[in-house]
Amino acid sequence: MKFSVLISIYYKERASYFNRCMQSIWDEQSIKPNEIVLVEDGELTLELYDLIDKWEQKLNGILIRLQLDTNVGLGDALNIGLHSCNFELIARMDSDDIARRDRFEKQLKILQNGVDICSSWVSEFDIDEREIISYRRVPELHKDILIFSKSRNPLNHPAVMYKKSKVLDAGGYKKMLWFEDYYLWIRVLLSGAKFYNIQEPLVNMRSGFAQLERRSGLSYAKAEFKFQKELLNLEFITVFRFIKNLLVRLIVRISPKKAVKIVYKLIRR
């Protein structure tokens, strides 16, 4: 089963992080991708260009570079990359994360059995990938994923492998600040696609408290309200669920950082 890996990168990425990401999806994988589609979202640093040039030479036709003149943001960049992938199966990867060596092998097996969208748990670390500080656990079966998605993102985006046709049928990635992937999964669920989450981490994410702290504040709360309102408009959630989600989630978004850390510890154990 041939498949693509889809990555978007922008100027703030560290070259060392991107290099480690590429090592994990090429040098260390038990099954290697047939192509890696890299969307260069705007002008990058010289260090990143030098590193990408080296990987382009090493992969000899496997790495497909899409160079955008300006930064368009993750959702639009992924949409451009999505249409440029040549294979039906696409694995997403963030440019600073690390895929475990059997990630693609395990997901390919699942996608041969009637599943359209397959993700997994992810493990999180701050600096050293060997020092895991937490896990993002998501439910396994489609029926439980559907219930879970009413209140929380049911998939870990950097660990997803999906069928291109199913994502395109749902309209692909659309603008929804900070919620592009969650918004996509809801629309794909509504289209009737079948989901599955492997019950072990297949990706190590550079994450931790710092990332969650960035997802707080008034701006994020406003974006959360807009997203929840869209779920209500789609009739994916009820008015009761809409109010409940806002009460729970918006309180966290505008809480002090110490409180955010406490919530983080509770949901990531």
Read off the tokens for 168: 């395109």
Choice among 121-125, 126-130, 183-187 with the minimum mean pLDDT: 126-130
From 189, 207, 225, give the residue that closes a domain: 207
From 157, 185, 207, give the residue that closes a domain: 207
Q: Can you give the pLDDT at residue 214?
A: 58
Residues 199 and 232 reside in one and the same domain: no
The letter for the amino acid at 32 is: K
Decide if pLDDT at 259 tops 70.
no
Please state the pTM of the whole predicted model.
0.93
Q: Can you give the pLDDT at residue 252?
A: 72
- Summary mean pLDDT of the chain: 93
Residues 30 and 58 reside in one and the same domain: yes
pLDDT digits (tens, 9 = 90+) for 47-100: 999 999 999 999 999 999 999 999 999 999 999 999 999 999 999 999 999 999
From 207, 229, 251, give the residue that closes a domain: 207
Q: Can you give the pLDDT at residue 112?
A: 95
Read off the tokens for 218: 């008034």
Residues 161 and 251 reside in one and the same domain: no
**Contact 5/25 with Cβ under 8 angstroms?**
yes
Residues 160 and 222 reside in one and the same domain: no
Calpha distance 145→147 (Å, rounded): 5
Domain count, the chain: 2
Q: Residue 145: give its domain's CATH number.
A: 3.90.550.10
* Residue 262 vs residues 25, 122, 132, 136, 213: alpha-carbon distances, Å: 33, 20, 18, 15, 11
Q: With the C-alpha atoms ordered 230, 233, 237, 242, is the resulting torsion angle positive or negative?
A: positive
Residues 139 and 186 reside in one and the same domain: yes
Q: Can you give the pLDDT at residue 255?
A: 66
Residues 220 and 118 reside in one and the same domain: no
Residues 241 and 199 reside in one and the same domain: no
Residues 31 and 126 reside in one and the same domain: yes
**Contact 111/194 with Cβ under 8 angstroms?**
no
Domain extent at residue 222 = 214-267
Residue 124, phi then psi, degrees to nearest 5: -120, 140
Residues 87 and 190 reside in one and the same domain: yes
Residues 62 and 167 reside in one and the same domain: yes
3-state secondary structure the chain: CCEEEEEEECCCCCHHHHHHHHHHHHHCCCCCCCEEEEEECCCCCHHHHHHHHHHHHHHCCCEEEEECCCCCCHHHHHHHHHHHCCCCEEEECCCCCEECCCHHHHHHHHHCCCCCEEEEEEEEECCCCCCCCEEECCCCCHHHHHHHCCCCCCCCHHHCEEEHHHHHHCCCCCCCCCCHHHHHHHHHHHCCCCEEEEEEEEEEEECCHHHHHHCCCHHHHHHHHHHHHHHHHCCCCCHHHHHHHHHHHHHHHCCCHHHHHHHHHHHCC
pLDDT digits (tens, 9 = 90+) for 38-56: 999 999 999 999 999 999 9
Residues 98 and 28 reside in one and the same domain: yes
pLDDT digits (tens, 9 = 90+) for 171-227: 999 999 999 999 999 999 999 999 999 999 999 999 755 555 556 678 888 999 999
Residues 45 and 128 reside in one and the same domain: yes
**Contact 44/53 with Cβ under 8 angstroms?**
no
